[in-house]
Amino acid sequence: MIEYIVYKSYPLNMRKVIMGSMKQQLAYKLLAAFLVLTMLGSVFAYFFIGARDDTTQETKPPETNLDKYNPEFWTVNQPFYSISDALSMTPPGPEVAYYIDLESMTPQMLEWVRMGDPTVSGLIQEVDTDIYKSNTTKFYYAGFSEGNNSSFLLLSTMFPLKNDFEYIVDPNTNIILIRQEQKYNGIYNILGTPAIFAPPQTAVDVLQIIYSLNKSVTAYDQYENLLTKVEPSPYQVLNSNVSFAKQFYLGIGLMNGSYERTTAYLDANSTVLKKLNQSKANSTQKGFEQFNINQSGNYTIVKIVSPELFTVLGEEIS
């Protein structure tokens, strides 16, 4: 159930990833505390409130697709290799966004993301087992919050390709599949690279961005200046709802066989800057091969490198 993400963020198989040492346990707790507190919500928040029924037109009866794959529905074909690509398909305004390329991760990092990451492991599992009944290869989640209204956007790729779920086809488009399961009822699904899964208005906004003949304003515009100062990585997080900076970026990937974590801040507060400099002074004792802090105008970019994944995960962020 998607409720698990919000109220029970700690996955059942966590021990397989972090039980081996106290360093790993500390790394999990530190990163978990940050990510859980800054997560704006999940798909569950939308379902709990209830999907607004925007579909008043006649629709076709539920499909009974025996082979569970209809290539006619796979129409989206967009670049989906980084959080920048995903944001370029996203309507303006997300306060948090996650991009995860599971195909590009080491086995240890993949295991952590699937079973030890407190914010996305449960959601990825649900995408695999309930939403698509397939294996997620790339994943993107964006959360929107404006007053009492909230929404989300889930983009993903999978293998094998499937439309193994209950749906009716929107007769006006013939590509929008309207989900019929009780907990996903009314959600729009448009399949392809990537597959789009979102409330009706958000899904329509994404389609308008993708197929517009004119350049559209997107969420990428909101974070462009920050993203141009970092390199893409298999694990990327953006957040504009943190207390220590106007915008925050986290990226984790490989560099020459070691794990590299990049954090970037727009207008980081003085407390964060002081902590970062203190951490740099003690970086060698902590086992870091590199600990670099660079300033570019109002932006602070920090890169730390270690052969141990949980060393970079455990270093303080704020």
pLDDT for 249 beyond 80: yes
Name the residue range of residue 79's domain.
Answer: 43-211
Instruction: Determine what percent of the chain is predicted with pLDDT higher than 90.
Output: 75
d(CA 248, CA 301): 10
Instruction: Determine what percent of the chain is predicted with pLDDT higher than 70.
Output: 78
| Whether residue 122 is found in the same domain as residue 233 | no
Q: Is residue 14 part of a domain?
A: no
Stated pTM of the model:
0.83
What's the half-sphere exposure (Cβ side, CA atoms, 13 Å) at 184? 22
Residue 37 is predicted with a pLDDT of 44
| Whether residue 74 is found in the same domain as residue 118 | yes
Q: Is residue 258 part of a domain?
A: yes
pLDDT for 59 beyond 60: no
| Whether residue 207 is found in the same domain as residue 59 | yes
Q: How confident is the model at residue 149 (pLDDT cuts 50, 70, 90)?
A: confident
What's the half-sphere exposure (Cβ side, CA atoms, 13 Å) at 198? 28
Q: Is residue 175 part of a domain?
A: yes
Task: Specify the higher pLDDT residue, 35 or 72.
Answer: 72
| Whether residue 155 is found in the same domain as residue 264 | no
| Strand 258-266, strand 299-306: pairing | antiparallel
| Whether residue 56 is found in the same domain as residue 177 | yes
| Whether residue 243 is found in the same domain as residue 187 | no
Per-residue pLDDT of 154-166, as tens digits, reads 999 999 999 999 9
Q: Is residue 145 part of a domain?
A: yes
| Whether residue 165 is found in the same domain as residue 227 | no
Q: Is residue 16 part of a domain?
A: no
Last residue of a domain, one of 190, 211, 232: 211
Last residue of a domain, one of 211, 239, 263: 211
CATH number at residue 33: 3.30.200
| Whether residue 36 is found in the same domain as residue 51 | no
Q: Is residue 3 part of a domain?
A: no
In this prediction, residues 265-273 reach a mean pLDDT of 97
Last residue of a domain, one of 156, 189, 211: 211
In this prediction, residues 276-297 reach a mean pLDDT of 95
3-12, 69-78, 172-181, 224-233, range with the lowest pLDDT: 3-12
Q: Is residue 6 part of a domain?
A: no
Per-residue pLDDT of 176-217, as tens digits, reads 999 999 999 999 999 999 999 999 999 999 999 999 999 999
| Whether residue 146 is found in the same domain as residue 70 | yes
Per-residue pLDDT of 212-232, as tens digits, reads 999 999 999 999 999 999 999
pLDDT for 46 beyond 60: no
Residues paired with 23 in a beta bridge? none
Q: Is residue 158 part of a domain?
A: yes
Counted domains in the chain = 2
| Whether residue 74 is found in the same domain as residue 160 | yes
Q: How confident is the model at residue 119 (pLDDT cuts 50, 70, 90)?
A: confident
pLDDT for 6 beyond 90: no
Mean pLDDT over all residues of the chain?
84
| Whether residue 50 is found in the same domain as residue 169 | yes
Residue 148 is predicted with a pLDDT of 66
| Whether residue 139 is found in the same domain as residue 228 | no
In this prediction, residues 283-297 reach a mean pLDDT of 95
Q: How confident is the model at residue 237 (pLDDT cuts 50, 70, 90)?
A: very high
Residue 31 is predicted with a pLDDT of 53
